[in-house]
Amino acid sequence: MSHPYFCNQLCGASDPIALAAELISLSVNTSAYTWETAPVFTMIEREVFKHLGQLVFENKIPEDTTICDAGGGPYDGLMLPGGSLSNLAALHVARYCSKNSLHTKTFKTEHDTNFDFSLPKEEKKEDVILSKPDKPDLVAFVSSEAHYSFVKAVSVTGIGAKNLVVVPTLPNGQMDVEKLDTLMSNLPKTKVPFFVAVTAGSTVRGSFDDIDAIVRICKKQEKMIAELDPDLTRKIWIHVDGAWGGTAIFSSRKDIQSLVKGLKHVDSFTFNPHKMLGAPIQTTAFVSRHKGILKAANSTGAKYLFDPRKIGAEYDLGDASFTCGRRTDAIKLWAQW
């Protein structure tokens, strides 16, 4: 693995710059959940995602905009521990978005942070609200070449394996978008599409799905759903799993860039710099075009960590993550960039 030309589906030869950054991270030995525990690492992570969001979604930020002015840019993102957990995060925020836009045109981006950690009180019978029997099941779609982590993710999120539809692929390994369209259209009325996983570099074959074509199908399906019930807005979240091949975003070659054509239209994207870029394991970035969605889906506002009155509270990253302790991984990607 130390050979300069080593590269497999899990990792690549170590990049000396990223390795040096890893040593800095390890020597400081802190956690990037609040600004006061890791002020420099926090600002580095926010700066990385400001530029990563600009690269992925092709939105220009004024040159004189600082990280303090932009609040991390008009995007959302975090370093996460691996591609599998990034795919789980995508499914999680997609479910949050779908459930919170069920009867409205927009979804919330702020949680009530007054979270009560005390033991639950006994509920009165009349206070219990039962789920509506006609509430549709949320259905996710992945290709037969997609990473196995999505099977685990639907179980963790409660979506369930019965609501994970595997779409056949073409001979070249791409998702068959005509089949995707047909499978979505043929869902029973008790089910609704809410998530599509696009693969940018499958683990075994290295195949890339046609992002533009999948975006068109999803927009068509959203329009069809809206026509059936104008009072409902159904968002189909499009996530690109580029853990292996997502580093194509950095290529100057047009043929490589074309592999992820249409990426700017998706809702979220993940890639692993510890693969093609040779950063130490694990180095994984997750970015979304929807500013505030991670905190909206994950925040509990634990007062002993995320008190809004403290200095630097607006820069805290931990409340947007499922985990509390967070490695300072952003410095590796920042150093390479």
DSSP for 282-308?
P-EEEEESSTTHHHHHH----TTT--T
- Range of weakest confidence among 21-35, 125-139, 276-290, 299-313: 125-139
Please say if the pLDDT value at position 279 is more than 90: yes
Read off the pLDDT of each residue in 13-21 and give the average, rounded to a whole number. Answer: 92
Strand partners, 288: 76, 268
3-state DSSP assignment of residue 250: helix
Q: Which residues are CB-neighbours of 29 under 8 A, at least 6 positions away?
A: none
Read off the pLDDT of each residue in 31-43 and give the average, rounded to a whole number. Answer: 95
3-state DSSP assignment of residue 199: strand
Please say if the pLDDT value at position 59 is more than 90: no
> Which pLDDT value is given to residue 60?
61
**Angle in degrees, CA 219, 250, 212, rounded to 5:** 15
Q: Are 301 and 242 in contact (CB under 8 A)?
A: no
Q: CA 65 from chain center: how many Å?
A: 25
Read off the pLDDT of each residue in 78-98 and give the average, rounded to a whole number. Answer: 95
Which amino acid is present at 13?
A
Please say if the pLDDT value at position 145 is more than 90: yes
- Written as six digits, the tokens of 15 are 């990049």
Instruction: Return the CA Rg of the chain.
Output: 20
Q: CA 164 from chain center: how many Å?
A: 18
- Range of weakest confidence among 66-80, 110-124, 138-152: 110-124
> Which pLDDT value is given to residue 227?
84
- Range of weakest confidence among 109-118, 152-161, 177-186, 283-292: 109-118
Q: What is the DSSP letter of 166?
A: E
- Written as six digits, the tokens of 20 are 């040096």
Half-sphere exposure of 108 (CA within 13 A, CB side): 13
Q: Is the pLDDT higher at 223 or at 114?
A: 223
Read off the pLDDT of each residue in 38-54 and give the average, rounded to a whole number. Answer: 96
Please say if the pLDDT value at position 233 is more than 90: no
Q: Is the pLDDT higher at 163 or at 125?
A: 163
> Which pLDDT value is given to residue 126?
47
166 exposed, middle or buried (CB, 10 Å; 0-12, 13-18, 19+)?
middle
Which amino acid is present at 328?
T
- pLDDT category at 9 given cuts 50, 70, 90 is low
Please say if the pLDDT value at position 212 is more than 90: yes
What is the Cα–Cα distance from 268 to 56, expressed in whole angstroms? 9
Helix locations, the chain, DSSP H: 16-28, 39-57, 67-70, 83-100, 149-156, 177-185, 211-228, 254-257, 293-298, 330-336
Q: Are 180 and 167 in contact (CB under 8 A)?
A: yes
Give pTM, 2 decimals: 0.87
Q: Are 221 and 182 in contact (CB under 8 A)?
A: no
What is the Cα–Cα distance from 143 to 177, expressed in whole angstroms? 10
Q: Are 86 and 243 in contact (CB under 8 A)?
A: yes
What is the Cα–Cα distance from 127 to 296, expressed in whole angstroms? 25
3-state DSSP assignment of residue 252: coil
Please say if the pLDDT value at position 238 is more than 80: yes
Residue 221: is the preceding peptide bond cis (ω within 30°)? no
